[in-house]
Structures are given as C-alpha cells and as structure tokens.
Structure 1
Amino acid sequence: MKRVWLGLLVLLIVAAAFVAAAWPREEFIASASSADQASSEANIARGAYLARAGDCMACHTARGGVPYAGGRALDTPFGRLVAPNITPEPTSGIGNWTADDFWRALHNGKSKDGRLLYPAFPYTNYTKVTRPDADALFAYLRSLPPVRQHNQPHDLAFPYNQQMTLAGWRLLYFRPGVQQPDSKRDARWNRGAYLVEGLGHCSACHSTRNSLGATEGGLGGGLIPMLGWYAPSLTSDAEAGLGNWSEAHIVQLLGTGVAPGASVTGPMAEVVVQSLQHLTNEDLGAMAAYLKSLPAGAPADRTAAPRPSEQTMRAGEKLYGQHCATCHGERGEGKGPYPALSKNRALALAEPVNAIRVVLNGGFAPGTAGNPRPYGMPPFGHVLKDEEVANLVSFLRASWGNAAPPVSSAEVNRYRSVPLD
C-alpha cells in the first residue's frame, strides 16, 4: 500500500512540474507589447467592426441587458460560466485595464491579475488576432459608456474550478500564436482564414469536442454542448460543405441568413444577426473563398443507414400530409419561400437534433437588413406527441432522396425540454 501511495505522490509531483512549467510559457511566446494607440475615431470605428466580426456582444450581454455589461450565463458539461462586464467601468469592468492587459487576455488567455481564463472565452481562436487589431478592439471598448454591473461568479464542479486544472488543460490544448499568412495563397484567402479561424472562431461550434471540452477535427461539425443543436460540418458536402456552392450564395447566406434552398436557424441565426450581417461583402467573400478551399471531409456512409419500419413510414407520411404538405409540397418539392425537403442536407445530418427541434419549436430565419421579413415555420411541439414527432422526422429523413437513420421517441423527449436560449 505504501508503494501505491508513493507512486501516486510521484505522479502528482511530475504532473505538477509539467503544469508549473506550462504556467509561464505564454509569456515567452507573446508578442512584444506595442504602445497604446491613440483612440482616434478611425481606430475606434475599426474596433467596432472587429467586435462585430468577433461576435463579442453576443456573449458579453445578458438577455435584455446593457450591451457588453456581461451577465450572460453559459452552461457547460463542467458547470456554469458567466461572461464578465467589458465596459470601461473601473470597478466591475475593464476601466483599469491597459492595452497590454487586453492583449494578454486575447492572446494568452490571462486576466489582468494573472488568472487563467476559461476557454469558453475562445482565446484558443482569438490568440490568432494581430496586435493592431487587438488594440483597435480595446480602443472601441474603452469608448463605450461605462456600466457598473458586478460580475457573477462561475459555478464549476471540482476539479474544474481549480486554476491548476486549467493550467494542465492549456498545456494539452492551447498553443498561442498570431495567425501567419500563407505565402502560397493570395491576400483574399488569407483574410478569410484570419476571420474564420481567428476572430470568427467558427471552430468553437463547428468542431467536435472531446471529454475535456477541447475542439477536435477542424471544422468537421459537432454537437454544441448543452445548447442542444448540431453545427454541421463545413467540409462535408453531405452536411454543410460548401464545395459545390457559389461564393455569391455563401455570401448571401452569411450576410442575410437565407440563400436559395437554405436558411439558418438556432444559434447560427443569432450569429448572423449579431455578427455576420454587419461585415462587408468583401470580408464575407474572403470567408467564402477560404471555406470553399478546405479539403473535403470523408463522405458519410449513407448506404448503411437503416430504413424506418413500414409502420413508421406510413405514420410519418400521414402526419406530413396533415401538417406539412400545404407549404412544403406533396413530395417535399417546396413552394416559393418554403424550402424543399427532398434531398435536403439539413434533414440528413449525422445528428437529427436540428430537425427535431425545428418540428418541436418552429423554424425561424433571422430578420436581417437583407431579409427584413423572414418566413417562419410554426412550432408543433404542443400538437404532436414524442412518438409522432419521431415518426414524422424519421419519414422526412428517409424520403425523396434523403437517406438517414430513423429517430426514436426518447431522442425527441430529450430535446423537448432543452431551453431555447
């Protein structure tokens, strides 16, 4: 028994040594601090644009709250995190921060007092942001009206609430470094890569996450923890891969939330409203060019998808005729603004959660400057039972050229109670 405890002690000492070595590591990697830029109107305006590109307001604003004053909670598998106040208020915000402090937070994931920040703040992406852009962001935040709203504490389970644990996570999964241009690509492609991989932090949703919450697999898609939505793969044409889309259609979808045969909903609708619709067509086009250049992911094996039973198909077809055919057509061909359901990639995703939630809660494209009067789909969760929703979604996923596995009543029930926010 003594040998066991001695062995554990040695392992703890070795682990602590690795973590201790990792703790100051970023200080040696960080770029040399530049002098604070003067808060000129042009620099503040550029910072405001970059804040839109980074979708900062979405997380740092509570529902119905003052922009950037914090308070929005984010539930994770490890507990609840609460976004802080980033207005220039000195006691509860970042009023006492310097441009160097802000740079360290963005680039190294460290607060002004040296505390390690949790990666729900996507510094694993923001580390790619250049120093001039970080300074412009800071100048913009400093120009906001100060709001005195004290930050709520995080509520994390042990050991995730320990800085030592976070240091170990960073040792495994965090590599600070500004995005470096690819000399083999043109300026437009590099701009798109910078926005997608850095400020836009697309991988925060469109990647799978391992058991410790780290992103894996590039932009290959994945379930968004706790939110109950699936962010489709951006590299697989069987999901949301954009290889066979025109750049113009990608720009339209990102900028307005709708495009021929496609619309966004759920968390992506919020991204379009808060962030993407405010970007220039040049930047959206650069993002489109970069996304189209990504290597195609492995095609999904649709031949192995089990087909629903005949009983399920008959029940689903009947429900479709009663509730859906008027708008979507007798054979899912679509009518006018109502999308076609035949060969619809959104229905055949690896995870059925999006289709289930749209049937339960309705589907609403975002209202944007480019789509001011969006068409929506009413919710059916109050009308259909779990088994009926399962039959309907299973029918849709196996009809008119769609080939995806059926869903169960248990899957429907799991998402019926998931909060909409």
Structure 2
Amino acid sequence: MNRTLRLGVGILLGSVLAVVALAGGVIAWQSLRSEDPGVIVPVTDRQAQLAKGQYLARAGNCMACHTARGGAAYAGGRALATPFGTIYTNNITPDRVTGIGDWSADDFWRALHHGRGRDGRFLFPAFPYTSFTQLSREDSDALFAWLRTLPPVNQANRSHELRFPYDQRPLLGLWRAFFFTPAVYQPDPARSAQWNRGAYLVRGAGHCSACHSARNLVAASIAPLDLAGGMIPALDWYAPPLHGGEHGLGSWSEADITALLRTGVSPRGTSLGPMSEIVGRSLQYLDDEDINAMAVYLKSLPAQPLPGASAAAQPEPAEAERILKQGKKLYGELCVDCHGGKGQGSAPDYPPLAGNHAIGGPQPVNAIRAVLNGGFPPSTTGNPYPFGMPPFGPQLSDQEVAALVSYVRNSWGNQGGFVSASDVNRYRSVPLD
C-alpha cells in the first residue's frame, strides 16, 4: 500500500512538474520570440505626419482612457475596473521621467504591435493592443510623433490593483499564446478600397471588438471579427451587435449607420452610455469618407446568432399579464409622447424602441439604466443640441421600472424577455461611467 501511495504521489508530482515546465517554456517562448520591426516609411512631410498622428489619436479615442477625470490630457491615471481588479492607465505625454519622453518610435511600435512595454514586459490587454496590432508601422510612427508634441506632464504612473494571480505579468505569456498573434492588417484584394479602409479602422484604431464582442473567463474577446455584441463588464452596459444580420445592422441603411457614427443620432437609434462618449470625442471628428467606409464594412459583416440572454426567471402567464398591463400604463404616462404609441419614435430626436436591439436584445441593462438615469446623446457638430431623456428612477419604484422595461422589451415585435425588480435594484447603485 505504501509503495502504491508513493507511486501515485510520484506520478502526481511528476505531472505537476511537467505542467509547470510546459508553462515556463511557453512563457519563455513568448518572451524570446522574434519581433517584427514593421515596414518603416521615410518621413517626407513632417506636418502631414503630425496631422495623421492627431487624426489617429482621435480615431482611437486615446484621450478617453489616458486622461483621468479632471486631470491633464493624456497624463494617464484613469481607473479601469476589470473583473480581476483595477487597471490604471499610463502617462503618454512626452515627460522624460513619467511619460514616454525617453521612448523611441521602435518602443512605441513594440507596445502597439507586440503588446510589450519598452522594457519588454507583457502589457495587460486592457490596453487594446490586440486591435492596435493591425495598425501599420507608418501609422504607429505618426501617432508617436504627434504624442511627442503634447505638453509634458510629470505625473507618475499608478500601480495596478489586481488580485493574485492576475497581477503576475509573466503569466500573460500563457494568455498571449492562446489569444494574441501580432499581425498588421492585410487588405482583402477581393474587396474595394473603401471596404478595406473601413475594415482597417474598425479592426484597428477603432478597436470596436473591445466592446462589441463577448469575452471569455480570462477576458479574451470571443470571435472579435464577428462583432456579435456583448456585455461590457467593467461598465455594465450592453454593446449591441454591429454585423449586417437580422439581429444587428441588417435592416439599417448605410446612411443610418453613418448618421449614428457621425452625430450620435439616426432614424434607427441613439447613442447613450459609453458609445455617446466615443461619438462625441472620437467618431464625429473623422472624415466623411472614413465614416462611410466603416458603415460599408459593418453592413457587410455576415449575420451571427443572437448571443444568449441573461438568465432570469420568467413569470407565470397571469403574472406576466399583470406586469405588462402595469408597464403599458406607465409607458402611456411617461413615454408615449416621445417614443410613440407603437414604439416608433420620432427621428432623429427620439429613437424608436420597436426593433431596437440595444433595448429589446438579450440583455436588459441598457433599457434599465436609461429609465433610471435618463441620458443625452453627445453634442456633435451634426447635432449640437441633442434632446435627452429625463431620469425616472427618482419617481418610480424598482417594481415599476421592471414593469415598464418588461413592457418595452415585449412589445411591437421585441422579444427581449422580462426583468425583475432585483435586476433594477442592482443598477440603481451602478455609476454611469
């Protein structure tokens, strides 16, 4: 018996050592693998390069993450909540001590394309290098050149607050082995130049998959090119599908898509929450040609199955009828003047609720938060004085909000399912950003 036990312990120990050795080998391979330096394009027009860099910074909305509320622009320090703890963004001003003043263009390319810091450390994928890797070396250099023209800000980077073992950077080598391969975008010769430009922006600088794709247990995007929609865990918002299928943008015209991207409002929907910030700070400043190209690309994406709905107990028929009756009454009192008796809305100021996948899709959070907190689309050049929605949270109970949202999600062809008072209560205390 003792011999058998010793043999079993030996096998177990050997297996553990083998797994550790394999993991160590993978991490070492990720650390030592050769890195593509990119195709360096000589700069013939410095001002044109800087203009391109500023444009790319806006396309990537770099300022949003790298600026803390009330802080200096691009000086970092913004807290990004993740399921594993809090990430604090870095100072990317040209300060030589705390920023990127001592970085080279090669160092910057290494961060964007390879997801590694100047010292070779693996970067946490909260920095979306999984998308930025698609940028060309020329665009990376332009962005770096423009950042170096910013006023330097001496502000030390704050240490991340991640739980063990997620705070162990070397383990990112394992994550990268499964979920990241550096690759510059390669144009599809079967597609038009416009389509390829849209793909380059959506997949690369725009990093749309960061929000509009579901993530697995280790925060890697699931099928990022599908843009099938998903929850944004750190922000508690649902990013709806962006593909060209029935549950995405299939019934939208390209004009509707471009209107939403450029102005924040369209006949088919309105941007609220995180998307409002993206339109206001980033997309409204892009050239019409680029916005149109993004619309063409998104509209062309193949249909995907609707992501699974959140697990929620559905009421018995009699209770469902009572909830819908109460919700209809509340809708008539609070919503019908703007959104219409059939949820048709009044474009472009009041978005339709019928067929609105952000409202009637698998996740109820957007509808709940809109009713509780209200909201405004961004103020843009194309829509400088947006109409907003008032907050009804102060005057409605959790049960009343649940009834109202359940009615909207089950009317006019919507099949979003019911929500409970406990669902509503969860989001009463969730901050807007």
Alignment of 1:20-419 (within 5 A): 20-25=28-33, 27-28=34-35, 30-32=36-38, 34=40, 37=43, 40-217=46-223, 218-235=226-243, 237-239=245-247, 241-298=248-305, 309-335=320-346, 337-419=349-431
Consecutive unaligned residues in structure 1, runs of 5 or more: none
Q: 1:301 to 1:108 in 2, by over 3 A?
A: closer
Are the equivalent residues in 2 in contact too, given 1:220–1:236 (CA < 8 A)?
A: no
Distance in 1 of aligned mates of 2:354 and 2:183? 44
Distance in 2 of aligned mates of 1:159 and 1:364? 40
Are the equivalent residues in 2 in contact too, given 1:130–1:178 (CA < 8 A)?
A: yes
SS of alignment partner, residue 219 of structure 2 = coil
Q: Structure 1 residue 287: deviation in Å?
A: 0.7
Question: Deviation string for 1:102-137 (max 9, x for gaps)?
Answer: 010110011111111111110000001000000100
Q: 1:351 to 1:110 in 2, by over 3 A?
A: same
SS of alignment partner, residue 412 of structure 1 = helix
Distance in 2 of aligned mates of 1:362 and 1:319? 16
Consecutive unaligned residues in structure 2, runs of 5 or more: 1-8
Distance in 2 of aligned mates of 1:65 and 1:344? 36
Question: Deviation string for 1:4-51 (max 9, x for gaps)?
Answer: 2232122111221122112222x34x1357387478222111100011
Alignment of 1:3-22 (within 5 A): 3-22=11-30
Are the equivalent residues in 2 in contact too, given 1:39–1:139 (CA < 8 A)?
A: no
TM-score for the superposition, normalised by structure 2: 0.91
Are the equivalent residues in 1 in contact too, given 2:308–2:362 (CA < 8 A)?
A: no
SS of alignment partner, residue 223 of structure 1 = strand
Q: 1:300 to 1:83 in 2, by over 3 A?
A: closer
Query: Cα RMSD (Å) of the superposition?
Result: 2.0
Distance in 2 of aligned mates of 1:176 and 1:286? 24
Distance in 2 of aligned mates of 1:191 and 1:406? 41
The aligned counterpart of 2:5 is none
Question: Deviation string for 1:271-329 (max 9, x for gaps)?
Answer: 00111000000001111111111111136899xx9677111111111222222223223
Are the equivalent residues in 1 in contact too, given 2:324–2:407 (CA < 8 A)?
A: yes
Q: Structure 1 residue 242: deviation in Å?
A: 2.1
- 1:389 alignment partner AA: V
Are the equivalent residues in 1 in contact too, given 2:240–2:357 (CA < 8 A)?
A: no
Q: 1:45 to 1:276 in 2, by over 3 A?
A: same
Are the equivalent residues in 1 in contact too, given 2:363–2:416 (CA < 8 A)?
A: no
Distance in 2 of aligned mates of 1:172 and 1:401? 40
- 1:383 alignment partner AA: Q
Distance in 2 of aligned mates of 1:33 and 1:346? 41
Q: Structure 1 residue 164: deviation in Å?
A: 1.8
- 1:322 alignment partner AA: E
Q: Structure 1 residue 225: deviation in Å?
A: 1.3
Distance in 1 of aligned mates of 2:10 and 2:305? 51
Q: Structure 1 residue 77: deviation in Å?
A: 0.4
Identity across matched positions, percent:
55
- 1:396 alignment partner AA: V
Distance in 1 of aligned mates of 2:172 and 2:148? 29
- 2:298 alignment partner AA: L
Question: Deviation string for 1:346-398 (max 9, x for gaps)?
Answer: 32111111001100110311111111000000111111111111111001111
The aligned counterpart of 1:420 is 432
Q: 1:356 to 1:114 in 2, by over 3 A?
A: same
Are the equivalent residues in 1 in contact too, given 2:103–2:118 (CA < 8 A)?
A: yes
Q: 1:335 to 1:292 in 2, by over 3 A?
A: closer
